[in-house]
């Protein structure tokens, strides 16, 4: 039997999946979706999954539902009209010698979740969250968001015929994400409080409002996100990387990855767990502080500060799950500065890959872990780029204009690339072009 299981060791209560709950009714703890997998059948799954890549069926074209044996929370998804999919997942694994050199590694690969329908990994989770909302017969869905969750929820809910309502911190959301929520038809509230404050408020009100909450405390979103690990392992030919590096905000993604990897190991599909490295911004690093001080509880950061808005979170909801996964995998948490994020982001951009600021924290973190000797130069490192470059055009334009600052402190734009103004005249244009490209052509790049 598949059940909800409270993750608190002192509780461990189980509940039927038919119940509409997000947290443990008995103790308030976080819930896992726990499956009774058929371990013997699992040996055949990798062949089944790769076979589906040749299929044109809608469910098989999704990079989440292609792995549906790992997320059996609705029965017979094949025949169900319930599944809300926009063809999420199926994201590439990209390498860059320049980025590897920047980090001091022989190689690094980027799993780019920005290639999703709405441009972030939130889509991998949202397809499951919205499908679950439909299965429960809910019409109104809501989330509090630093941006990408609202963009994703708005798209999936509208596509599925549900009504999306998003609550975002006033003035603290990247432009591309707000634009998406509006265009995808979400009822949008800009609330005058920070993310953590709004979440507490909405969490209390959701039930009386008839609102199905799709924040990352919703365990079904994490079920979708965990399939990113199945897709990655498939791309690696089921050879485990040494490290998986990802940014940490609310810590849902690291929780999902850890659970997904443990399940793959328990099913015998991988032998060992890759080590997870969570990267936070220095101004919003409550998990790093907790791990450093070996504290038993997470102390929220009151006024989180970072330009990487997707990880600007002081009181991450999923911290107990994140700690569990870091312990299980021998993982680490490190904090990086705004300058380190800006530098890494520019390197990823110039490699032709590009990502939003929070995603670039991964390369900055890999570099730091390498410098500290935690990661060896020849280790197999996969960094998760969580969001698309165009999510935050304002950051990019300011960077290249040399105008980026955080908390009143200016940042250096070491790879600034400014547009050049030129007269509409052949000779002038030719001279300007030669001057601008000469170095890059002689450098062979």
Ligand X SMILES: *Cc1c(COP(=O)(O)O)cnc(C)c1O
Q: List contacts with ligand X (CB under 6 A).
A: 120, 122, 148, 216, 247-253, 310-311, 356, 358-359, 386-387
Provide the residue count of the chain.
445
CB closer to ligand X, 49 vs 164:
164
Minimum separation from the CB atom of position 5 to Zn ion (A): 9
Q: How many CA atoms lie within 13 A of 417 on its CB side?
A: 8
Minimum separation from the CB atom of position 216 to ligand X (A): 5
- Pairing relationship of beta strands 211-213 and 140-144 according to DSSP bridges: parallel
CB closer to ligand X, 331 vs 387:
387
CB closer to ligand X, 62 vs 118:
118
Minimum separation from the CB atom of position 224 to ligand X (A): 12
CB closer to Zn ion, 56 vs 296:
296
What are 314's two structure tokens? Answer: 């002081």
Out of ligand X, Zn ion, none, what residue 27 binds, judged by CB under 5 to 8 A for its kind, is: Zn ion
CB closer to Zn ion, 297 vs 439:
297
Minimum separation from the CB atom of position 225 to Zn ion (A): 22
Minimum separation from the CB atom of position 432 to ligand X (A): 37
CB closer to ligand X, 248 vs 354:
248
Out of ligand X, Zn ion, none, what residue 122 binds, judged by CB under 5 to 8 A for its kind, is: ligand X
Q: How many CA atoms lie within 13 A of 115 on its CB side?
A: 14
Minimum separation from the CB atom of position 186 to ligand X (A): 16
d(CA 299, CA 287) in angstroms, rounded, equals 8
Minimum separation from the CB atom of position 217 to Zn ion (A): 14
Whole-angstrom CA distances from 44 to 39, 40, 49 are 10, 8, 9
Out of Zn ion, ligand X, none, what residue 270 binds, judged by CB under 5 to 8 A for its kind, is: none
Out of ligand X, Zn ion, none, what residue 247 binds, judged by CB under 5 to 8 A for its kind, is: ligand X
Q: Give residues with Cβ within 8 angstroms of 245, minimum separation 6.
A: 277, 279, 362, 365, 366, 369, 381, 382, 383, 384
Out of ligand X, Zn ion, none, what residue 148 binds, judged by CB under 5 to 8 A for its kind, is: ligand X
CB closer to Zn ion, 24 vs 151:
24
CB closer to ligand X, 67 vs 257:
257
Minimum separation from the CB atom of position 310 to ligand X (A): 3
Give all strands (DSSP E) within 149-193, no chain letters: 163-169, 187-191
- Pairing relationship of beta strands 211-213 and 163-169 according to DSSP bridges: unpaired
Out of ligand X, Zn ion, none, what residue 219 binds, judged by CB under 5 to 8 A for its kind, is: none
Q: Give residues with Cβ within 8 angstroms of 395, minimum separation 6.
A: 174, 307, 356, 357, 404
Out of ligand X, Zn ion, none, what residue 118 binds, judged by CB under 5 to 8 A for its kind, is: none
| Residues within the interface to Zn ion (CB under 5 A) | 6, 8, 11, 13, 24, 26-27, 29
Q: To 10 degrees, what angle do helices 393-401 and 175-183 make? A: 150
Out of ligand X, Zn ion, none, what residue 310 binds, judged by CB under 5 to 8 A for its kind, is: ligand X
Question: What would the DSSP string read from start to end of 374-431?
Answer: SS-TTS-EEEEE-B-GGG-HHHHHHHHHT--EETTEE---TT--------S-HHHHHH
Q: Give residues with Cβ within 8 angstroms of 440, minimum separation 6.
A: none
């Amino acid at each position: 039997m598949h059940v909800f299981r409270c993750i608190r060791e002192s509780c461990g209560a189980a509940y039927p999946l038919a119940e509409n709950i997000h947290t443990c009714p008995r103790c308030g703890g976080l819930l896992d979706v726990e499956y009774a997998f058929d371990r013997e059948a699992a040996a055949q799954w990798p062949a089944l999954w790769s076979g589906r890549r040749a299929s044109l069926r809608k469910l098989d074209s999704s990079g989440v539902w292609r792995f549906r044996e790992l997320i059996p929370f609705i029965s017979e998804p094949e025949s169900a009209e319930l599944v809300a999919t926009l063809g999420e997942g199926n994201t590439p694994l990209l390498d860059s010698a320049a980025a590897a050199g920047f980090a001091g590694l022989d190689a690094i690969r980027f799993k780019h979740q920005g290639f999703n329908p709405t441009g972030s990994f939130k889509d991998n989770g949202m397809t499951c969250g919205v499908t679950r909302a439909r299965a429960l017969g809910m019409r109104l869905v809501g989330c509090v968001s630093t941006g990408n969750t609202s963009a994703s929820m708005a798209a999936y809910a509208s596509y599925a015929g549900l009504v999306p309502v998003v609550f975002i911190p006033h003035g603290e959301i990247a432009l591309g994400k707000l634009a998406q929520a509006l265009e995808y038809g979400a009822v949008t509230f800009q609330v005058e409080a920070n993310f953590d404050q709004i979440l507490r408020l909405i969490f209390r009100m959701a039930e009386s409002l008839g609102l199905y909450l799709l924040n990352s405390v919703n365990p079904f979103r994490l079920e979708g996100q965990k399939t990113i690990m199945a897709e990655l392992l498939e791309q690696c030919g089921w050879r485990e990387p040494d490290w998986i590096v990802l940014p940490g905000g609310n810590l849902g993604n690291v929780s999902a990855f850890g659970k997904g990897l443990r399940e793959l190991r328990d099913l015998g599909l991988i032998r060992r767990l890759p080590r997870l490295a969570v990267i936070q911004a220095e101004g919003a690093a409550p998990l790093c502080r907790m791990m450093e001080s070996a504290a038993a509880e997470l102390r929220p950061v009151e006024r989180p500060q970072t330009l990487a808005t997707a990880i600007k979170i002081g009181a991450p909801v999923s911290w107990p799950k994140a700690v569990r996964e870091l312990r299980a995998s021998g993982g680490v948490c490190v904090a990086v500065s705004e300058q380190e994020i800006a530098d890494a982001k520019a390197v990823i951009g110039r490699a032709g890959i590009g990502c939003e600021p929070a995603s670039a924290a991964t390369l900055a973190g890999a570099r730091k872990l390498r410098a500290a000797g935690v990661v060896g130069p020849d280790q197999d490192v996969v960094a998760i780029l969580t969001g698309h470059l165009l999510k935050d055009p304002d950051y990019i334009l300011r960077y290249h204009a040399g105008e980026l600052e955080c908390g009143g402190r200016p940042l250096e734009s070491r790879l600034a690339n400014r547009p050049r103004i030129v007269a509409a005249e052949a000779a002038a244009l030719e001279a300007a072009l030669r001057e601008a490209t000469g170095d890059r052509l002689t450098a062979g790049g």
